[in-house]
Chains A and B, each alone.
Chain A
Amino acid sequence: MKYLALALLFSTSLMAASPEVVQYMNELSKTAKAENSSFNGFDVARGKEIFTSTHIGKQGKPMACTSCHSTNLSSSGKNTLTGKMIDPLSPRANPQRLTSAKEVKKWLKRNFMDVYTREGTAQEKGDVLTYIMKN
Chain B
Amino acid sequence: MKTLLNLSVATLILAGGVYLYADDHEEGEHHRSSTVAKPLNKQDQAAAALYKKECSSCHMAYQPSLLPKRSWDKTMKTLENHFGTDATLDPSDHKTIQNYLTSYASKNDRLVDMKGAVALRISETPYFVREHREVTKKMVTQPQVKSFANCNACHSKAENGSYREREISIPNYGRWED
Q: Which residues of A contact B (CB under 8 A)?
A: 58-59, 79, 81-84, 86, 102, 106, 109-111, 113-114
Contact = CB atoms under 8 A, between A and B. Distances in A.
Contacts of B58: 79, 81-82, 84
B85 interface: yes
A81 B80 CA distance: 16
Interface residues of B, number: 18
Interface string B64-107: 00000000000000001101111111100000000000000000
B57 to A, nearest CB: 8
B32 interface: no
Contacts of A83: 143, 146, 150
Given A82-B150, A106-B90, 9 more contacts: A58-B81, A59-B84, A59-B85, A79-B58, A79-B59, A81-B85, A86-B57, A102-B90, A106-B89
A84 B81 CA distance: 19
B86 A109 contact: yes
A51 B60 CA distance: 26
B87 A82 contact: no
B86 A81 contact: no
A84 B59 contact: yes
Nearest to A60: B84
B104 to A, nearest CB: 22
A82 B59 contact: yes
26 contacts: A58-B81, A58-B86, A59-B84, A79-B58, A79-B59, A81-B83, A81-B85, A82-B59, A82-B149, A82-B150, A83-B143, A83-B150, A84-B57, A84-B58, A84-B59, A86-B57, A106-B89, A106-B90, A109-B88, A110-B85, A110-B86, A110-B87, A110-B88, A111-B86, A113-B86, A114-B85
Given A102-B90, A106-B89, A81 B150 contact: no
A45 B86 CA distance: 26
A109 B89 CA distance: 10
Contacts of B89: 106
Q: Which 7 A/B pairs are nearest by Cβ-Cβ distance?
A: A113-B86, A110-B86, A59-B84, A83-B146, A82-B59, A114-B85, A114-B86
B84 A81 contact: yes
B118 to A, nearest CB: 22
